[in-house]
Structure 1
């Protein structure tokens, strides 16, 4: 199980507990920290996907914006 999976699992556990009986202050702080971590991981993964995106028109021509191409070259994706 990856770290992201463990974070998601723990967030879900805390959510269920919150719905059933509420959370202690320590658990609420843990939930907030895990949520921040989850969002940061999500954003990093999403940015990586966008950075590697190539846009092709109907004729098969690469029409990826120059700014995206520059980022891809810096990251040696092109």
Structure 2
């Protein structure tokens, strides 16, 4: 996940944007921080998905094929 300082800065820029507006440099910084945040979020979410196994009432593995394939590709890397 993103460092606390960066999350704090995202919040500061968001608040400033709503209150008084941002300079061009601040807008670029905000966009860069948002992209970094989303990249970290997506990685964490993907990592979490790879820990999931779906099982029906009878104990049969019914994990979607796409997820199984993604897990296999990840384990090979």
Deviation at 1:54, TM superposition (A): 0.5
Match of 1:61 in 2: 60
Residue of structure 1 equivalent to 2:75: 75
RMSD in angstroms over aligned alpha carbons? 2.1
Equivalent pairs, count: 75
Does the aligned pair in 2 maintain the 1:56–1:63 contact within 8 Å? yes
Gaps of 5+ in 1: none
Q: In the aligned structure 1, how far is the partner of 2:35 from the partner of 2:20?
A: 23
In structure 2, do the counterparts of structure 1 residues 3 and 43 end up closer, same or farther at CA, with 3 Å as the change threshold?
closer
Give the TM-score normalised by structure 2. Answer: 0.76
CA distance 1:62–1:32, change in 2 (3 Å): same
Q: Name the structure, 1 or 2, with higher relative contact order (CA <8 Å, separation 6+).
A: 2
Conserved 8 A contact 2:2-2:37: no
Structure 2 contact 13–22 (Cα < 8 Å) conserved: yes
- Structure 2 segments unaligned to the other structure (5+ residues): none
